Chain A
Amino acid sequence: MFEVIMYDGGVYRSAELFELIEDVGGAVLQKIRSSQMLTVTMSIPTEDKEAVVALCREIGGEVKEVPLAGTEIAVVGPTLGRHHMPHPICDIAEALRRKGALSIVMGLARGRGKGTSQISGSEVAIINEYDAAIFCFGNFKSCIEAKAELMKDIKIPLILVCGPRPEGLEDYCEGIVPGVGRKSERMRSPDERNKLDEIVSMTEMVLKDKRKRMSEDPLFVHPSEVKQVLENYHPIDMCLRPSPIVLHLDGLRAKIPYDENIQAIKDIMIYGRKLGDIAKITESKLDRSSMLIKIKTGSEVEYDDARKAAGKT
């Protein structure tokens, strides 16, 4: 059993930490260095957690629980206008990041207005690439209810954050957190901080459900194992974009151009199989310079094997 924790401290003696993670058979999920500060999200075996935590403290860092590590979450607002940004959308994204998620902020092109709000097919496709989405709506109940249309085609777990509690939207989303709405300043009062905690807990709960559903037919290989292999692939190793590989619950996002790398990525061997055989690799809808790798489940791989054996490829 693996556990995900986050080291938050300085770079001093961090080489020892990376060595220990490797020794215990763990994996670094994310490493962010800012000047002399370092944040490392790692997956380590439960039985070795004590030793890793002890070393983190010895080298002057803090250890934090990160229940959302290994997920990428979209926080979506009706627009990118100053009516909705940076508060509360960026505050929510920040709260998710503190719990280990990689969060992105997105504004719809025509999401404002009660009767005129719209979402395009490409926006839906982009949102569906993430592990979960949080939609932030405003202060009026009738407007929130009218905007339910924006959520109806979203296939991933969705949480609605809004002002008053709307009625009849339970089928459109997995959870509703009322009491937020439009904000003109940072959410920093105790009540507002509690609200952010509530949003994070709701996200945790929703993703826990998704993990539970996925465990009924587990993935053929864990995304972090694919990540370890991909890290040695030269274009990813040389990629200067922040977090060139982002873990998802059911795969990962690799921030390298699809057209140039697809064949090489498909041919990478993992446990004696080509990655192309155990995962569906598609171009990201977000931009042409990333690709999505969705790992097939054990039963999907077995089914493909059976078809191949029967000559029905």
Chain B
Amino acid sequence: MDITVHGTDPFGNEAYRVLFENIMNDLGEALAIEKAELVLRPEAPLFIFSVRLRAEPVSKTIADVSSLREEGSGVHITITDERYAPDILGAMWSMYGRNSVDQQTRFDMSVADADLEVVSKTVIASGEEALKEIIGSVWRSMPEGIKVRHVFISGTVVTVVATEEIMRPEFMKEGARVHVEMGGSADV
């Protein structure tokens, strides 16, 4: 993750570079972010945190994160991406009932009387959800008192403009400028 910080307080610049990196690592978002640009102007106060993601968040189906095979009248699922294991189990329980799901190990489960086609197309994580998590982690890394926020989203670029009381037009303009610089579109 490449982080650029522009700010008026040298101590704050370095501290927020480390804070942003640590928080993104803690929340598991660091791998999804290719580049981040932070604009820190505490005297205004204006904070612009813009991130460019490696890929646009898209919906994930069970087939995307596991390998499936037919087993008798049911389906056997071998999970290949651990972070989706609880979602897959939850989806199977709600679709077929707990008695039909036999979880042998953390990554393997058999679902009785299930259809391979239906299971493989089941959506377990929407792109919107992933985007929400990224925006949430950016909010968390911002100072606590900066509660008035506006979010620009286009393609893989997410920009959060935040201030304490009144969101002035020049703040929004500055946010849009950073958003475009990061590769976002100008018509957000």
Contact = CB atoms under 8 A, between A and B. Distances in A.
B26 A184 contact: yes
Contacts of A181: 11-12, 15
A139 B145 contact: no
A79 B147 CA distance: 14
Nearest to B22: A184
Interface stretch (A140-148, A215-223, A280-288): A140-148
Interface in B1-44: 9-12, 15-16, 18-19, 22-23, 26, 40, 42-43
B90 interface: no
A208 B45 CA distance: 40
Interface in A142-163: 142-143, 163
A100 interface: no
Contact of A142 (B10, B18, B42, B165): B42
A183 B147 CA distance: 19
Given A82-B140, A143-B42, A184-B26, A114 B145 contact: yes
Contact of B144 (A79, A140, A141): A79
Contact of B145 (A82, A113, A141, A163): A113
Nearest to B165: A115
A255 interface: no
Interface string A52-91: 0000000000000000000000000011011110000000
Contacts of A163: 11-12, 15
A184 B165 CA distance: 25
A49 interface: no
Q: How large is the interface on A (under 10, 10 to 19, 20 to 34, 35 or more residues)?
A: 20 to 34
Q: How large is the interface on B (under 10, 10 to 19, 20 to 34, 35 or more residues)?
A: 20 to 34
A116 B164 contact: yes
Contacts of B140: 82-83
Contacts of A112: 143-145
B11 A114 contact: no
A164 interface: yes
Q: Which residue of B10, B12, B40, B146 has the most chain A CB atoms within 10 A of its CB atom?
A: B12
Interface of A is mostly: loop
A81 B143 CA distance: 11
A113 B10 CA distance: 20
Q: Which residue of B19, B145, B146 has the most chain A CB atoms within 10 A of its CB atom?
A: B145
A117 B147 CA distance: 13
Nearest to A113: B145
Given A142-B42, A184-B26, A164 B12 contact: yes
Interface string B120-134: 000000000000000
Nearest to B7: A140
17 contacts: A78-B144, A78-B145, A83-B143, A116-B164, A117-B145, A139-B12, A139-B19, A140-B9, A141-B11, A143-B42, A164-B9, A164-B11, A164-B12, A181-B15, A182-B143, A185-B22, A185-B26
- In order of increasing CB-CB distance, the 10 nearest A-B pairs are A113-B145, A140-B42, A164-B11, A112-B145, A83-B144, A139-B15, A112-B144, A139-B12, A184-B22, A140-B12
Interface of B: 9-12, 15-16, 18-19, 22-23, 26, 40, 42-43, 45, 140, 143-147, 164-165
Interface of A: 78-79, 81-84, 112-117, 138-143, 163-164, 181-185
